[in-house]
Amino acid sequence: MDNKQGLTYSEIRQAILDKIPTQVGITRIEFEGPRLAIYCQKPEFLQENSHIVGEIAGIIKKRIVIRSDPSVRMGEIQAEDIIKEILVEAGLVQAYFDPALGEVVLEVEKPGVAIGKGGANVVEIVKKTHWSPNFKRSPPIPSMTIRQIRGFLYSKSKDREKMLRETGESIFRPIYQQSSDVRVTFLGSARQVGRSAILIKTRESEILMDCGINPGSRNAIGSFPRLDVEEFDLSRLDAVVISHAHLDHCGFLPYLYKYGYNGPVYCSEPTSSVMTLLQSDYIDVTRKEGKAPPYSAEDISEVILHTIPLGYGEVTDISPDVRLTLHNAGHILGSSISHLHIGKGLHNIVYTGDFKYGPTALLQPASSYFPRVETLIMESTYGGPDNFTPSREETESRFVDICNKILKNGKVLIPVPAVGRAQEILMVINKHMNEGNLLQVPVYIEGMISEATGIHTAYPDYLSHDVRDQILKDGINPFESDYFTVVRQHDMRDEIVEGGPCIVMATAGMMEGGPVLEYFKRLAPDENNGIVFVSYQVAGTMGRRVQSGMGSAQMYRNDGKMEIINIALSTHIVQGFSGHSDRRQLMNYVRRLKPSPRRVYVVHGEESKTDNLARSINKLRGVRGYSPRLLDTVRLA
Ligand SMILES: [Zn+2]
């Protein structure tokens, strides 16, 4: 039988050898994850004659990377000295060598200067050292997470190389079954917000979209995706795709590695960094609550080792009959909408993850153009018939009014998820204090917010054009301000709680653990204080209960004993900062998606909302709307 996806490995090899002159000295041709790596002794020749690589890629229909053969690479210490000389005007901050790929990540202050005219410095570095440079702007706030990930990958470069080769061989294995029978099983996030996990199967491959936890559930069976069912077979899984770093989408991923999965994870590069931060925090928080976390730090390391980051718009083979492309989702840093092209045009699925079809200060709105779409799987957090968020201006002025009122005599507590809303609110507070609209009081920030903010500044290309230009062109850090103080020592809390009016921003966003609870316990009994919710509160969480106006709460004291906290502070909800699309934006997305989908599966919403939204979608011409139940399997093609 023939290989439906194109050329066999030996045909590919021949096509490469035909096109590349022998003087280049090819030593190996190998799969490197979804790409094909050509190892050679003179990579600079192909760098200078880049049309040759372009021609080959056109023939074999695969992405190609050129790697220097390890035997010709210069020693790392000597290479770094030479690179320093070449980049003397670019402000080299850090160099990270990656022996698995023959790449050196160079953090520089001026990437434009570093690359040189027409890429002259790139060619010079390759020629002199035989390492290929990968320039990154050094972030204004250094991120420990990114540093640790790079260090870890360096120490594991042999394992990484092996993983990429095996993944590549599996992706490009010959197809013996014609692509057919595209089926979807909802293992989580069906008629609920939480534990996103959607299995997509063809006769040839199996792909898991997201693998999250349910923060609102108290029992094991409700907390995690239903991986215990017959439809799910870990040993047959080709790939996991993670839409974004929130725990309800990636919090259960390390568990797959604990139980023997050793395949790849695809996501954007910022998602990979933020996900590591949030998964590690999840272990800490779970332990602090006296519970056993479902996985360990080693399992998170396995995730890092197996992650293949993709840029938006990069069309990538992830199995013999599935091609994945990530697009901007506008929800949080690095969040992605996944487009899956199955078979040769057999079926196309768009999975939104969480998305914002509208502008925010931080991010560009979600993409709505795709080459083809038959099936749309869409979130519906704010999909209810009355979930209309006010305009941006109304939202900001309401937020400012509420804070000003509380600040006359009290303190403002804002529970925020470390990633996304925190950075958005920091920018809003800074703007309105500078403009004199908001009382200029100290703003205290506690939890992982500053580390998450550091990760934001490392990936300016993923932010809104405004914020990106501030960082790249003007060298401004938009998350920094004279009003902000990062709380690093716990004993500072006493001063804050006993001091004058102030704003406290703390994690966790849904008040399920974290420093926000410490502040809440001490600020709640005073009616002069106020709590302001700026993000979605999942049913069953502490945040949701406070939001609904409960008068007292049983909470643990620091000595482990329970105490009853009287809740007298005022409670406020400001909806318009949400990183989710509201009802109008969700309907507009279905209407305006190009091309128009035939079927829409509504997920990631409370039961009443998914039902109602699916019924409204059903009334649109030529589109069927469904609200699948947990463990439903549907056949798409
Ligand atoms: Zn999310």
As a three-state string, the secondary structure of 466-529 is: HHHHHHHCCCCCCCCCCCEEECCCCCHHHHHHHCCCCEEEECCCCCCCCHHHHHHHHHCCCCCC
Judged against a pLDDT cut of 90, whether residue 470 lies above it is answered with: no
**Residues 596, 533: one domain?**
no
Residue 566 lies in a domain: yes
Distance (Å) from CA 476 to ligand 1 centroid: 27
Report how far ligand 1's centroid is from the alpha carbon of 209 (Å): 14
Q: Is 350 left (phi over 0), alpha (psi -120 to 50) or beta?
A: beta
Q: What is the CATH number of the domain that holds 264?
A: 3.60.15.10
Query: Is the full-model pTM beyond 0.85?
Result: yes
CA of 536 to the centre of ligand 1 (A): 9
For 346-384, the pLDDT digits (tens) are: 999 999 999 999 988 899 999 999 999 999 999 999 999
Are 462 and 268 within 8 A, CB to CB?
Answer: yes
User: Do residues 407 and 478 share a domain?
Assistant: yes
Ligand 1 centroid, distance to 274 Cα (angstroms): 12
pLDDT digits (tens, 9 = 90+) for 35-68: 999 999 999 899 888 899 999 988 888 889 999 9
pLDDT at 5 over 70: no
Q: Quote the pLDDT of residue 1.
A: 34
pLDDT tens digits along 384-437 = 999 998 998 999 999 999 999 999 999 999 999 988 889 999 999 999 999 999
Q: Are residues 325 and 443 in the same domain?
A: no
Q: Which two tokens stand for residue 374?
A: 């038959």
**Share of residues in the chain with pLDDT > 70 (%):** 99
Q: Are residues 475 and 549 in the same domain?
A: yes
Predicted pLDDT of residue 180:
79
CA of 256 to the centre of ligand 1 (A): 20
Structure tokens at 512: 């399920």
The domain of 524 spans 392-573
Query: Taking residues 306-329, what's their average pLDDT?
Result: 96
Greater confidence (349 vs 576) lies with 349
Instruction: Mention every residue, 6+ apart, whose C-beta is less than 8 A from residue 284.
Output: none
104 and 55 in one domain?
no
Q: How close is the Cα of 366 to the center of ligand 1, in Å?
A: 13
Q: Output the CA 331–ligand 1 centroid distance in Å.
A: 7
- Do 407 and 441 form a contact (C-beta atoms < 8 A)? yes
pLDDT band for 132, please (50, 70, 90 cuts): very high
Alpha carbon of 493 to ligand 1 centroid (Å): 29
Q: 49: domain CATH number? A: 3.30.300.230
Residues contacting residue 409 through CB under 8 Å, at least 6 positions apart: 501, 528
Q: How much is the pLDDT for 169?
A: 93
| pLDDT the model gives residue 175 | 81
User: Do the bridges between strand 484-486 and strand 443-446 make them parallel or antiparallel, or are there none, so unpaired?
Assistant: parallel
CA angle (309, 235, 376) in 5-degree steps: 55
Taking alpha carbons only, the member of 430, 315, 358 closest to residue 581 is: 358
- Is 540 part of a structural domain of the chain? yes
**Alpha carbon of 382 to ligand 1 centroid (Å):** 12
d(CA 162, ligand 1 centre) in Å: 32
Average pLDDT value for the chain: 93
Lowest-confidence segment of 111-115, 496-500, 562-566, 623-627 by average pLDDT: 111-115
607 and 492, same structural domain? no
Alpha-carbon span 545 to 511, nearest angstrom: 10
Please count the structural domains in the chain: 4
Please give the distance, rounded to the nearest whole angstrom, from the Cα atom of residue 247 to the centre of ligand 1: 8
Nearest residue to 512 via CA among 296, 276, 271, 246: 246
**Best CA proximity match to 334, nearest among 294, 277, 285:** 277
CA 348 to ligand 1 center in whole angstroms: 23
The pLDDT of residue 474 = 80
User: 346 and 410: one domain?
Assistant: no
If asked whether residues 217 and 259 sit together in one domain, one would say: yes
Q: What is the pLDDT of residues 59-93, one digit of tens each?
A: 888 889 999 999 999 999 999 999 999 999 999 99
Ligand 1 is an ion; residues with CB less than 5 A from it:
246, 354
62, 12 in Cβ contact below 8 A?
yes
Strand order in the sheet with 336-342: 316-319, 322-328, 336-342, 347-351, 375-379, 599-603, 624-626
Radius of gyration of the CA atoms of the chain, in A: 25
What is the C-alpha separation between 87 and 84, in angstroms, rounded?
Answer: 5
User: What percentage of the chain exceeds 90 in pLDDT?
Assistant: 79
Q: How far is the CA of 36 from the centre of ligand 1 (A)?
A: 33
**How many angstroms is it from 210 CA to the middle of ligand 1?**
11
Over residues 275-299, the mean pLDDT reads 93
CATH number of the domain to which 99 belongs: 3.30.300.20
Ligand 1 centre and the CA of 327: distance in Å?
15
Q: From ligand 1's centre to the CA of 109, what distance in Å?
A: 32
Q: Are residues 122 and 173 in the same domain?
A: no
